[in-house]
Structure 1
Amino acid sequence: MQIKIARTALARGLKLALLGMAGVPAFVQAQAAAEAQAQTQVPAPAPAAQEQQPVATATELDRINVVGYRRSLQFSTETKRESTGFTDSIFAEDLGKFPDLNIAESLTRIPGIQLSRDVNGEGLNVGIRGLPNSFTKTVINGAQVATASIGLDATNQNREVDLNLFPTEFFTQLTVHKTPLARLPEGGAAGVVDMRSARPFDNPGSHVTYQLQADYNDNSEKISPRGTVTGSWTNEEGTFGALVGVSSVRGKLGVEGFETIGWTNPGLNYVQCGLAAPEGVDPFTNRPAECNRGGGGGWLIPDRVPNNPATIAAGLTPGQVIDRDLLLSLNPGLTIDQISEALMPRLGRPVHMSGDRDRDAFLASFEWLPSEDMRFYVDLLYSEAHRTNERLDVNLVGRVFGPTGLLPMDMQVDANGVVTDATFTNAQFFLEARPYIEDVKYWSINPGGTFWFGGDDQVKLDVQANASRSWMFRESPTILVNTPFTTIDYVNDGGLPTWDTDLDLNDPALGWTWAGGRVNVQNEKRVVETSGARADLQFGDEVNNVRFGVAYDRFTRRIQGFDNSPAWQEHVLATIPDDALASYLRPGPHGFITVDFDRFMRDTDYARYRDEAPESAGPNTGGSTGGISEKTLGAYIELNGTTDILDRQLRFNAGMRYVTTDQELSGPVTIGGVRQWQNLTGDYDEWLPSFSAAWDVADSVVLRMSGSRTMTRPNPSSMLPNTTFTDQSGLNANQGNPNLTPYLSTNFDIGGEWYTGEEGFVGVTLFNKRVTGYTYQGINTIPFSQLGIPFEDLTEGQQGAIMSRGGPNVATVNVQQQVNADGSLDIRGYELIWVQPLTFVLDGLGFMANYTDIKLDPKGQDADRLAGNVFGIAPKLWNATAYWENDRASIRLSYTWTDELVATGPNQQGIPYAQLFGEERGQLDLSASYTFPDLWSSPQITLNVINLTGEERRSNFHWPNAVNDLYDPGRTVLLGVRGSF
């Protein structure tokens, strides 16, 4: 069957499509219309039936015979030019050789991509154009991806995908669809990242590629090996091919840092701030708002001078009341308000991380072409990681800690209230030893096929299925012991807070004690599964066609926390009393003690308590125990075509996708002292239109326009039941909200590129996104019967109260839960990109640079709430790469820069104004190689240096001299050899 579309009919259809799209609010955003995978492989010959199809091509680029990095850039430029919507692609230079060592790092070379790094500097996941990472949909070969891993700082709590599970050597192409296609999976309001794994017919024949490297990190001071071998084969008839790859990494972790877990200020009582307490109110235990005008109050100054050697040596009288006059006399020059507002770390602590970062991965792909009209394939991917982290830190206690706390003397503060200098008596430190052990596994299978019908191959059917499972288990025991009380000199000069103490914190016999200490057994288990199937029917050729498709997807995630701390602690204290504690401590490598972990765990029967740990409300990483299951049905129609305007070709894509989602959420609730699992359900459906057009206004200039509507599903953690009543009348409760609606983004993009020759081009894009569906903590009043809790499970008092209000079907409950805001977030910005070969200066020389500027504008009734819930977005991003290469040698310097960003909402540590800010950060990387073409396998010696200048990652507690956390991942040097035969 052949579809013939007359040019006039196409023009008329284009006008109708534009008019129809004008009815979409705010006009809407762009589309990536090119056949992103099949048409732009490196190099990927199609079956004979496909080769007869016309290719959607703008004016040809200047063809150059290059290899290596310039070849990768050339493919990226050609793909961008031939696309209809706004897409950017990155190609492997050759099989198994991506331009970067980490997939996430490669994606930062694309405009508008913001990279989230783990504390060791490793790229984890990406956000697109001002939306958080969970708004990015990630697919491998068109099938959705979900991972169970959480990173060192447990950042994956939503729908993020940790990309460090996947070896870059297994992939040949990354495509970022910043504007949608109707046939692409929904779920990425910001965009879709499509990762294309290697297949045998990408390079017909027999090939083996190997890569061996040794890396050295100047923090871990250890050498780590890594290697990948990939082999592919196709038969002489061109009907069958197989590809297999194995990758292994034995990495070492080395991170030096400083953490505070927020900053705090004193919570003064009536006596300390000099106010008379109302009758019947204890002036020592009550801390009124009048004495703590700035909020917070997490640091409690003792009511009376404690009786210990430190306070006596400081010249204080044990038992003396610490009132307003004493505080002012001990801190001359300060007012009582300045003392009340004085900011210092809650738990200032140098932190050191060391351990293993091992990963093994396997890739297999098989293709079968029994005839010119059929093609079958199956892709398999497996990855497993074993990670350990001997995390050690020593904390200066600045928070509420038992009945006593720091007593300040000679304290000085700056204009912002940050303590810059002080002597603190009654000070105490505690060691926190937490050896994480984590195992992660991921596997996926992706079979599919393509069929061409009719002699002219004008009907094509694509079918595909997929299934994946990711599993994680992390155990993180904690051993916490305390020092005797002491007096310290504290200094904060704007870098990191420091202190001098007479205590030798590296002496196991110092007098460490369990008093105020603890041990924890805290485990976390995650299981994430996906499955799906889709079918796509195309009428027409690869340029002018109509496509219809249906899709089914299923996503499940279950998080469980386990905690056996009370039982283990009771056993530990009975087994290792204070007088035996020193024998289990050892001098450490960082100036403070560590623990003889093997002996401690063995003698306290840790393994038994770990294995018997009962389920808890949630793990210590911040997630909530519970599960979600989503089933989605989708259907779409898509029209692709070309027409001429002013004798210049215009390519267009228009489509509509309909999706309906059913959700089931489950989690533990404790009602009437009984813990049980509760199930809640929800559903929603959406229509997602999209339109894109690209007009070749000149031989080397392409203008683009796109409008669309995209969506991202709500955060599963915000929907889990976890129901609790906050009073005995059954009037107020906390619960997840299964009725949260998706985030919807209405988008419009306009831009274009000037192609300057070879791999060069200059591009600019203006984009606008209007996002609705943001959530905040609100209150819904609903009938008790809608809570999903059996009435008989309530306490007698709650049952009686509900009956007095009309019974379960009438009585209402005020439920605190996440609700959708009445408002929108407008995200406006622009992207600039310039790729320029400089062969007129020096053959093989060139550069690539891009810049993104983003502005956020909350609107609507809940605009203020939106402003306090939108964070983690850098307003400015840029990166640049300078490169030079010839047939044998190459060198690249790449720099990536991220602007300062707001990391959290306000009211941190109960201080209304306080927010966390991530500092601006740039990173310089080096990549160089030299090839010996005359030797067997043409070996290439490679040198990579990551974080060449040793940049740190830092965030601050509102003020630039109040560090919240700082991590130094160090500099990593990798030396290797790569070849193929």
Structure 2
Amino acid sequence: AYLGSVVTNAKVPDYAMASSQGFITVNWDKFAKDTDYAYFRDNIRRGFNNGSGGYIREIVEGAYGEISGILRPLDRTLRYNAGLRYSSTQQTIGELTIQADPRNAALRNGGLYDNTGVWTYETTTYTNLLPSFTLAYNLMPDLIGRASASKSLTRANPADLRQTRVSIGDQGARQGNLTNPNLKPFKSNNFDLSLEYYMTREAYVALSGFGKDLVGRPATRNVSYTLAQLDALFGTVGLTDAQNQAVAASGGRDKHLVEISEPFNIDTKLKIRGLELTWQQPLDFLPVKGFGFTANYTYSKQTDELPNALPVAGVPPRTNNLTVYYERNGLSLRVSRQYASEHIVNASVGLNAGTYMWTTARTQFDASAGINLKQAFGFAYDASLNVSVWNATDAISRTYVQFPGAVFDEYKPGPSYNVSMRVAF
């Protein structure tokens, strides 16, 4: 038993008794009475440790103005829209720390008074102007050019904004995390240019180019410190008995290395550039009316001002989608295919620089069929029957760290089937 516990090692046999089946069990009534168990059970939510509580409050104030209209330059229609958003954000981060009740100095575990909590707060205020505009110009009756630009802002993850605190969780005291209350929101400058050619009201092809310039995006870096360095920077880091034993075995706090993961803002500009091609085409010229398809292909590339800077995760360089459909006389059939190329899903895996977590390329097929019973068979009520299958070919994907053979996990959702009927009375 723990040194100072109400039930010491020597007293353990006093709480053992024979059960009705002849096995050794705990004399619970005696144990609960001697340890004042009911009191601690009823006050279980009052106990806390450093870092077990946190506080975040965000006050956002803003204003938005917009202007839109239609002009006729060169006797052709130009539609425009422009807006300006102002926002002011005040973030307050609080951290709960404990202080031992001074009356506990002469007491032992089991008879201690509750610790008292002290809140400390830190407030950050920032303002932003976020402009945007869109233009659509009829170059020809069936050809439209579009342009848009905007500035957007994304705030930091509140979980990373807690006041500066080091936490070391593993028993070997080799890996830890550091919060960063000074994380700033990151900004993105966005622009798009596109041409749309309409063959009919429903058939068109479109080619667009897009770009994003990201500044101050969040990332995680891993830095090695000795435990003594962490003590000097952030105050003495508390450890468990098992962790203290591991530190002693490696030569003490001035020699024991800890790898710390800490969030930060990347100051350089990341540029994402891409092209997108879209084609939507009814096939009413076929002998059987009602068929058609929609297709989409997207290519993107990202480059950073700083060589070997962390990439943005979750952005496949190539995606394409194809849907073939039939819709006529209350009957609807659709088969679709979605493809995403191999791409990075985690740029901060805690290993050497340039080591990322990837996901393999994945192709998925879905299908659905529906029929409106009123249109097809003269049903008295407006009723529709629908059947769909998701991931019909049982596509899987794997994530791996740097090398395809170093599989981290496998995502195998399997196919999913759905049958539904809707009736309107």
| Root-mean-square deviation (Å) | 3.5
> 1:105-254 counterparts in 2 under 5 A?
none
| Corresponding residue for residue 744 of structure 1 | 187
Note the C-alpha offset of 1:722: 5.2
Return the alpha-carbon distance in structure 2 between the equivalents of residues 913 and 710 of structure 1.
28
Asked if the contact 1:872/1:902 (under 8 Å) is kept, the reply is yes
Note the C-alpha offset of 1:763: 0.9
Q: Which blocks of at least 5 consecutive residues in structure 1 are unaligned?
A: 1-573, 576-607, 619-623, 727-732, 780-793, 796-814
Match among 282, 293, 304 for residue 837 of structure 1 = 282
Residues 1:964 and 1:616: Cα distance change in structure 2 (over 3 Å): farther
The code of the aligned residue for 2:149 comes to: G
| Corresponding residue for residue 418 of structure 2 | 974
Match among 816, 824, 846 for residue 269 of structure 2 = 824
Note the C-alpha offset of 1:636: 2.1
Note the C-alpha offset of 1:872: 2.1
The code of the aligned residue for 1:836 comes to: Q
Return the alpha-carbon distance in structure 2 between the equivalents of residues 967 and 975 of structure 1.
25
Bigger drift between 661-670 and 671-680 goes to: 671-680
Return the alpha-carbon distance in structure 1 between the equivalents of residues 387 and 262 of structure 2.
52
| Corresponding residue for residue 856 of structure 1 | 302
Match among 117, 128, 142 for residue 686 of structure 1 = 128
Pair 1:917-2:358 in alignment:
yes
| Corresponding residue for residue 713 of structure 1 | 155
| Corresponding residue for residue 935 of structure 1 | 379
Pair 1:630-2:75 in alignment:
no
The code of the aligned residue for 1:929 comes to: G
The code of the aligned residue for 2:268 comes to: G
Note the C-alpha offset of 1:821: 2.2
| Corresponding residue for residue 957 of structure 1 | 401
Note the C-alpha offset of 1:725: 9.0
Return the alpha-carbon distance in structure 2 between the equivalents of residues 957 and 647 of structure 1.
58
The code of the aligned residue for 1:900 comes to: E
Residues 1:830 and 1:628: Cα distance change in structure 2 (over 3 Å): farther
Map Cα deviations across residues 919-960 of structure 1 (whole Å, 9 max, x no partner): 111211111012221223232221111111111232112221
Asked if the contact 2:220/2:348 (under 8 Å) is kept, the reply is no
Residues 1:853 and 1:974: Cα distance change in structure 2 (over 3 Å): same
Asked if the contact 2:277/2:296 (under 8 Å) is kept, the reply is yes
Residues 1:692 and 1:741: Cα distance change in structure 2 (over 3 Å): same
Instruction: State the number of aligned residues.
Output: 330
Note the C-alpha offset of 1:907: 5.5
Note the C-alpha offset of 1:906: 5.6
Pair 1:879-2:307 in alignment:
no
Pair 1:773-2:216 in alignment:
yes
Map Cα deviations across residues 55-77 of structure 1 (whole Å, 9 max, x no partner): xxxxxxxxxxxxxxxxxxxxxxx
Map Cα deviations across residues 75-115 of structure 1 (whole Å, 9 max, x no partner): xxxxxxxxxxxxxxxxxxxxxxxxxxxxxxxxxxxxxxxxx
Note the C-alpha offset of 1:617: 7.5
Match among 621, 634, 639 for residue 67 of structure 2 = 639
Residues 1:649 and 1:634: Cα distance change in structure 2 (over 3 Å): same
The code of the aligned residue for 1:885 comes to: E
Pair 1:898-2:340 in alignment:
yes
> 1:312-391 counterparts in 2 under 5 A?
none
Note the C-alpha offset of 1:676: 4.8
Note the C-alpha offset of 1:777: 5.0
The code of the aligned residue for 1:959 comes to: F
Residues 1:611 and 1:882: Cα distance change in structure 2 (over 3 Å): farther
Return the alpha-carbon distance in structure 2 between the equivalents of residues 923 and 823 of structure 1.
36
Match among 78, 81, 100 for residue 650 of structure 1 = 78
Pair 1:754-2:197 in alignment:
yes
Residues 1:822 and 1:646: Cα distance change in structure 2 (over 3 Å): same
Note the C-alpha offset of 1:869: 5.4
Q: Which has the higher strand share?
A: 2
Residues 1:939 and 1:626: Cα distance change in structure 2 (over 3 Å): same
Return the alpha-carbon distance in structure 1 between the equivalents of residues 389 and 167 of structure 2.
55
Note the C-alpha offset of 1:847: 0.5
Return the alpha-carbon distance in structure 2 between the equivalents of residues 720 and 745 of structure 1.
24
The code of the aligned residue for 2:205 comes to: V
Asked if the contact 1:705/1:750 (under 8 Å) is kept, the reply is yes
Asked if the contact 1:957/1:963 (under 8 Å) is kept, the reply is yes
Return the alpha-carbon distance in structure 2 between the equivalents of residues 918 and 925 of structure 1.
21
> 1:77-116 counterparts in 2 under 5 A?
none
Secondary structure of the equivalent of 2:160?
helix
Return the alpha-carbon distance in structure 2 between the equivalents of residues 956 and 617 of structure 1.
36
Return the alpha-carbon distance in structure 2 between the equivalents of residues 611 and 943 of structure 1.
54
The code of the aligned residue for 1:772 comes to: V
Note the C-alpha offset of 1:820: 2.4
Note the C-alpha offset of 1:739: 3.1
Asked if the contact 2:49/2:97 (under 8 Å) is kept, the reply is no
Return the alpha-carbon distance in structure 2 between the equivalents of residues 609 and 761 of structure 1.
68
The code of the aligned residue for 1:916 comes to: M
Residues 1:686 and 1:973: Cα distance change in structure 2 (over 3 Å): same
The code of the aligned residue for 2:91 comes to: Q
Note the C-alpha offset of 1:664: 1.3
Return the alpha-carbon distance in structure 2 between the equivalents of residues 947 and 617 of structure 1.
47
Asked if the contact 1:869/1:904 (under 8 Å) is kept, the reply is no
Secondary structure of the equivalent of 2:159?
helix
Residues 1:637 and 1:890: Cα distance change in structure 2 (over 3 Å): same
Return the alpha-carbon distance in structure 2 between the equivalents of residues 972 and 929 of structure 1.
17
Return the alpha-carbon distance in structure 2 between the equivalents of residues 642 and 698 of structure 1.
16
Asked if the contact 1:883/1:891 (under 8 Å) is kept, the reply is yes
Q: What TM-score results when the alignment is normalised by the length of structure 2?
A: 0.69
Return the alpha-carbon distance in structure 1 between the equivalents of residues 312 and 346 of structure 2.
8
Residues 1:886 and 1:816: Cα distance change in structure 2 (over 3 Å): closer
The code of the aligned residue for 2:196 comes to: E
Q: Percent identity at matched positions?
A: 32
Return the alpha-carbon distance in structure 2 between the equivalents of residues 748 and 642 of structure 1.
21
Secondary structure of the equivalent of 2:329?
coil
Secondary structure of the equivalent of 1:654?
strand
| Corresponding residue for residue 254 of structure 2 | none
Return the alpha-carbon distance in structure 1 between the equivalents of residues 98 and 136 of structure 2.
58
Residues 1:880 and 1:778: Cα distance change in structure 2 (over 3 Å): closer
Pair 1:945-2:407 in alignment:
no
Note the C-alpha offset of 1:686: 0.7
Asked if the contact 1:668/1:722 (under 8 Å) is kept, the reply is no
Asked if the contact 2:349/2:357 (under 8 Å) is kept, the reply is no
The code of the aligned residue for 2:363 comes to: G
Secondary structure of the equivalent of 1:721?
coil
Asked if the contact 2:302/2:311 (under 8 Å) is kept, the reply is no
Asked if the contact 1:758/1:837 (under 8 Å) is kept, the reply is no
Return the alpha-carbon distance in structure 1 between the equivalents of residues 392 and 331 of structure 2.
20
Asked if the contact 1:670/1:723 (under 8 Å) is kept, the reply is no
Return the alpha-carbon distance in structure 2 between the equivalents of residues 669 and 734 of structure 1.
18
Secondary structure of the equivalent of 1:872?
coil
> 1:598-613 counterparts in 2 under 5 A?
612=44
Return the alpha-carbon distance in structure 2 between the equivalents of residues 853 and 708 of structure 1.
21
